[in-house]
Amino acid sequence: MPRGRVHQRRGKGMSVEAALSRREVRIGRTRAQDIDRHVGARMRERRIMLGLTQQQMAELIGVTYQQAHKYEKGINRIAAGRLFTIAQALGVDVGYFFEGIEARQSFRPTPQQRMLLELARHFVALPNRRYQEAICNLVRTLASAPEEDGEAGSTTDIDPMGRSGRGER
């Protein structure tokens, strides 16, 4: 086949759109690879919709023809910055490439992860840098303090206002 010509391969008369809609992403050890292939297939689908060859696409995004081909096949993972460039070149949002992928429902953050997220949200909401530095110093001090009694990491004796739970109010 001559270079630059687009060959749209379809199985049993199925359109690219139908093939993509039937794609199921497995949850397991190949999930990242499945997502890479899905993103590449969406890239290829959009390129074909716009009537671009792989060579033209490669030139638009600043890579070689071979690299564009590897992206479309999911052989090479597309970096975030490059995906943004591809989205702009194809006139779509970055989210377009992930449409049709079902989110993993089994993830549940641990109590510690929830606390860390809450801490981060409150930290960035502090009104000034001085307060943020004070929080960092407090955490640094607490982390380096020797454990007295009780469970490691226990917060039962610590009040959010910095008072201990031993009647010092």
Lowest-pLDDT choice from 27-41, 42-56, 61-75, 107-121: 27-41
**pLDDT cut 90: percent of the chain above it:** 54
Do 28 and 94 contact (CB within 8 A), yes or no? no
Gap between the Cα atoms of 42 and 45, Å rounded? 5
Overall average pLDDT of the 118-144 stretch: 93
Residue 5: its pLDDT value, please? 46
Per-residue pLDDT tens digits for 93-108: 999 999 988 765 566 7
Which one has a higher pLDDT value, 156 or 113?
A: 113
Give bridge partners of residue 164 from the DSSP assignment.
158
Q: Any idea which residue has 């959010």 for tokens?
A: 160
User: What is residue 126's predicted lDDT score, i.e. its pLDDT?
Assistant: 92
Write the DSSP symbol of residue 62.
Answer: T
Confidence of residue 32 (pLDDT cuts 50, 70, 90): confident
The pLDDT, as a whole number, for residue 148 is: 74
Name residue 9's beta-bridge partners.
Answer: none
pLDDT at 27: 41
Residue 82: name the closest of 69, 71, 98, 95 by CA: 71
Report which residue type is found at 6: V
**DSSP helix/strand/coil, 33:** helix
What was the pLDDT predicted at 149?
Answer: 61
Higher pLDDT, 151 or 65: 65
pLDDT tens column, 135-148: 999 999 999 988 87
